[in-house]
């Protein structure tokens, strides 16, 4: 073997020995590929380092960048231009020049794929910007709008149709868009699906809706000579000749307005219909079936008044039942008549301020409007019923001085069965009062009573009452303090209205127990006045001997005489565990006497008061220093 061959093999073995897994790895040997954990023979041959094997034993899919699409056919050195294989980018822009001059950023995959550079229309059909690709635009190649991909404009391209379709606009002749002065906003008439599917929203852009026959006309029928600007929207602009030629009725002679739409519609020129409501005079009832000439005599369509008398004054003057002129009826016929029928007129009497109700509603007009007098100015009942008022005897209205306001008691339903609202007098009839005859209170027809006091009628009852004797007891004559209108007996007195409300056991005591000998006028309210005997006879403790005050309520309550409680004020009653008064009050005949020395021995007390000035061992001195029973 030649010396050179030996050296090459030797060198190869040395290099191979630096690969992990080799038998020997010299410390000073490094791989030019960096940290590549592969045997060299997976890619290189024994003949030399280059070229590498046609099919290296390396699975690129096990790396962080799997090979897909067109990348599978690229040779290693086209991407790995440097020996260290990890020193290579994974983004498209790392290998591929941006022919779009960064108008789309560096994210090539938003339009392109590893399958090829051809742009995926499906991938960008939403266009991802301010101009979505819809309709026919969705089927176009990018170059159709973005001319020359390498140098074309992609950002900031105008979204106006005219920017691409100016040539179409200028060449269009049916009609000529340029000469007609059409706006260059193509989307006003054209859509994205079909350039020739023209549809112009006539209402939106001109304010004139094409309805009825107008919708079927050719544009040139109105836009004569291709004039699209300044076309009037008034009917008479096109139909003035029709207006002048009309003979039934003659529009010009009748001075009709030239607003054709008042009577005509776009559906058909004939028949025309006029909305009479628009002039403020709706045609209703008999008016609706009349011919126009019956009101518009001699072709006079310039009437300015809608008053009935304009046409019906002759009817007004000739009417005799009743005579309208003599009765001075107003000439506003609609007050009684309607358009359905001239006869069977009805008058709304409520409008006069006097509604016809009850029997009034069925009376003939002449019963009130005597001798054709329709100029009555008063709605008072007495205007017609004064004779009834003067002739009434049950009761006699005149003698009783009743007011002539008949409606105070009577109604229009029936003159008889009158009812008087006694509440209006300030004296409501309740209880037994509600069932009395008027004459039981209004004796001898006296309806001029001016007092609502019970005693006005019940003084005799007051004087004759014995249980108790009201006169002798000096009871007030305000009967309603004890009695009510439901029944005179039993009565009840509300003692709470006196200076001495009844509480506790006092509520169940008979009146005579306190009001001895029917004394209801000067009974004292202090407890001692009634309970003097109880005070004097009490032995536990003896109240007199103990010098207790005669204010019984100090210890007792109205609930029960027993179980009295005394408020001992400052000195606690349970002092030293005491359970009874006699623990301290050693003299049951005098509770002003008390003893501290019974419990508190002198020897102990002296010891506790060493150094206390003015100390004296006796009960009064103890209390003087210890009023609350506490030390210190």
> So what's the pLDDT on residue 588?
76
pLDDT single digits (tens) 54-67: 788 888 888 888 88
Q: Identify which has the larger pLDDT, 430 or 113.
A: 430
Q: Is the pLDDT of residue 558 over 60?
A: yes
Chain centroid, CA 257 distance in Å: 49
Nearest to 206 by CA among 176, 241, 237: 237
pLDDT single digits (tens) 474-485: 888 989 888 999
Distance of alpha carbon 224 from alpha carbon 220, whole angstroms: 5
> So what's the pLDDT on residue 161?
87
Residue 156, CA distances (Å) to 81, 121, 129 in order: 38, 20, 10
Nearest to 580 by CA among 569, 590, 566, 592: 566
Q: Which pair of structure tokens corresponds to residue 198? A: 């023209």
pLDDT single digits (tens) 574-604: 887 777 777 888 887 777 788 899 889 999 9
> So what's the pLDDT on residue 111?
76
User: Contact 544/570 with Cβ under 8 angstroms?
Assistant: no
Percent with pLDDT over 90 in the chain: 12
- Asked, as a colleague might, if the bond just before 585 is cis with ω within 30 of 0, I would say no
Q: From the CB of residue 470, how many other CB atoms can be counted at a distance below 10 Å? A: 20
> So what's the pLDDT on residue 3?
38
Please, how many CA atoms are within 13 Å of residue 346, restricted to the half-sphere of its CB?
9
Give burial (CB, 10 Å; 0-12/13-18/19+) of 247. Answer: exposed
Q: 279 falls in which pLDDT band (50, 70, 90)?
A: confident
What is the average per-residue pLDDT within 12-21?
42
Q: Which pair of structure tokens corresponds to residue 188? A: 């006003």
User: Contact 622/596 with Cβ under 8 angstroms?
Assistant: yes
> So what's the pLDDT on residue 129?
63
Nearest to 239 by CA among 270, 216, 207, 275: 270
Question: Which range among 103-112, 271-280, 286-295, 538-547 shows the weakest confidence by mean pLDDT?
Answer: 103-112
Percent with pLDDT over 70 in the chain: 92
> So what's the pLDDT on residue 9?
40
> So what's the pLDDT on residue 15?
43
User: Contact 468/520 with Cβ under 8 angstroms?
Assistant: yes
> So what's the pLDDT on residue 152?
63
| Phi and psi at residue 625, to the nearest 5° | -90, -30
Q: Identify which has the larger pLDDT, 25 or 471.
A: 471
Q: Is the pLDDT of residue 29 over 60?
A: no
Q: Is the pLDDT of residue 122 over 70?
A: no
Q: Which pair of structure tokens corresponds to residue 395? A: 């009761």
Distance of alpha carbon 191 from alpha carbon 131, whole angstroms: 14
pLDDT single digits (tens) 352-393: 888 999 999 888 888 888 887 888 888 898 888 999 899 988
What is the average per-residue pLDDT within 201-211?
84
Nearest to 124 by CA among 136, 148, 140: 140
What's this model's pTM, rounded to 2 decimal places? Answer: 0.35
What are the start-end ranges of the E strands in 298-381? none
Q: 240 falls in which pLDDT band (50, 70, 90)?
A: very high
> So what's the pLDDT on residue 602?
92
> So what's the pLDDT on residue 192?
80
What is the average per-residue pLDDT within 452-467?
90
Distance of alpha carbon 416 from alpha carbon 388, whole angstroms: 11
Please, how many CA atoms are within 13 Å of residue 544, restricted to the half-sphere of its CB?
8
User: Contact 359/412 with Cβ under 8 angstroms?
Assistant: yes
Across the chain, what does the average pLDDT equal? 82
Nearest to 597 by CA among 607, 584, 609: 584
> So what's the pLDDT on residue 254?
81
pLDDT single digits (tens) 397-417: 888 888 898 988 899 988 888
CA-based radius of gyration for the chain = 62
> So what's the pLDDT on residue 501?
92
Query: Bridge partners of 108?
Result: none
Helices in 267-375 by DSSP H: which ranges?
A: 292-295, 309-318, 365-368
pLDDT single digits (tens) 72-90: 888 888 888 888 888 888 8
User: Contact 376/368 with Cβ under 8 angstroms?
Assistant: yes
Nearest to 292 by CA among 263, 270, 314, 261: 263
């Amino acid at each position: 073997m030649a010396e050179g061959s030996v050296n090459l093999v030797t060198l190869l073995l040395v290099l191979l020995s630096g690969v992990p897994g080799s038998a020997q790895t010299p410390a000073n040997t490094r791989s030019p590929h960096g940290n590549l954990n592969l045997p060299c023979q997976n890619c290189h041959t024994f003949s030399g380092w280059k070229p590498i094997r046609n099919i290296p034993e390396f699975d690129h899919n096990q790396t962080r960048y799997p090979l897909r699409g067109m990348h599978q056919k690229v040779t290693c050195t086209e991407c790995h231009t440097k020996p260290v294989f990890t020193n290579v980018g994974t983004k498209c822009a790392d290998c591929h020049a941006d022919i779009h001059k960064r108008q789309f950023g560096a994210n090539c995959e938003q339009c392109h794929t590893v399958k090829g550079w051809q742009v995926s229309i499906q991938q960008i059909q939403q266009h991802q910007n301010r101009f979505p690709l819809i309709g026919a635009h969705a089927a176009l190649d990018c170059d159709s709008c973005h001319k020359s991909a390498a140098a074309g404009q992609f950002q900031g391209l105008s979204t106006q149709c005219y920017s691409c379709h100016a040539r179409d606009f200028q060449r269009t002749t049916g009609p000529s868009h340029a000469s007609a002065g059409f706006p260059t906003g193509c989307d006003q008439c054209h859509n994205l699906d079909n350039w020739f599917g023209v549809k112009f929203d006539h209402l939106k852009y001109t304010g004139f809706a094409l309805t009825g026959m107008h919708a079927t006309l050719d544009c040139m029928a109105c836009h004569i000579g291709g004039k699209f600007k300044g076309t009037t929207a008034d009917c008479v602009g096109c139909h003035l000749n029709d207006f002048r030629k009309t003979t039934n009725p003659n529009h010009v002679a009748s001075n009709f307005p030239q607003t054709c739409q008042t009577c005509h519609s776009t559906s058909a020129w004939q028949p025309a219909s006029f909305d009479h409501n628009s002039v403020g005079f709706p045609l209703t009832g008999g008016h609706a079936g009349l011919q126009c000439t019956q009101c518009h005599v001699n072709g006079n369509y310039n009437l300015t008044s809608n008053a009935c008398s304009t046409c019906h004054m002759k009817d007004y003057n000739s009417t005799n039942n009743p005579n309208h002129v003599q009765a001075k009826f107003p000439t506003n016929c609609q007050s009684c008549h309607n358009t359905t029928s001239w006869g069977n007129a009805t008058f709304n009497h409520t409008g006069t301020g006097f509604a016809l109700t009850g029997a009034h509603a069925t009376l003939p007009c002449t019963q009130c409007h005597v001798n054709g007098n329709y100029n009555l100015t008063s709605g008072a009942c007495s205007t017609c019923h004064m004779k009834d008022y003067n002739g009434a005897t049950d009761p006699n209205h005149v003698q009783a001085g009743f007011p002539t306001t008949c409606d105070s008691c009577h109604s229009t339903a029936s003159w008889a069965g009158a009812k008087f609202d006694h509440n209006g007098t300030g004296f409501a009839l309740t209880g037994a009062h509600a069932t009395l005859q008027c004459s039981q209170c209004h004796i001898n027809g006296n309806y001029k009573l001016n007092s609502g006091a019970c005693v006005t009628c019940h003084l005799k009852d007051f004087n004759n009452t014995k249980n108790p004797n009201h006169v002798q007891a000096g009871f007030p004559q305000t009967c309603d303090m004890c009695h009510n209108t439901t029944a005179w007996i039993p009565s009840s007195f509300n003692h709470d209205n006196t200076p001495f409300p009844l509480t506790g056991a006092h509520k169940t005591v008979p009146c005579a127990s306190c009001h001895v000998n029917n004394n209801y006028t000067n009974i004292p309210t202090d407890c001692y006045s009634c309970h003097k005997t109880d005070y004097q006879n009490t032995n536990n403790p003896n109240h007199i001997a103990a010098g207790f005050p005669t204010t019984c309520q100090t210890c007792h309550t109205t609930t029960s005489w027993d179980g009295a409680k005394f408020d001992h004020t400052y000195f606690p009653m349970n002092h030293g565990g005491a359970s009874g008064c006699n623990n301290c009050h050693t003299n049951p005949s005098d509770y002003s006497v008390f003893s501290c020395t019974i419990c508190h021995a002198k020897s102990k007390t002296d010891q506790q008061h060493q150094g206390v000035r003015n100390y004296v061992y006796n009960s009064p001195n103890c209390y003087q220093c210890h009023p609350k029973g506490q030390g210190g």
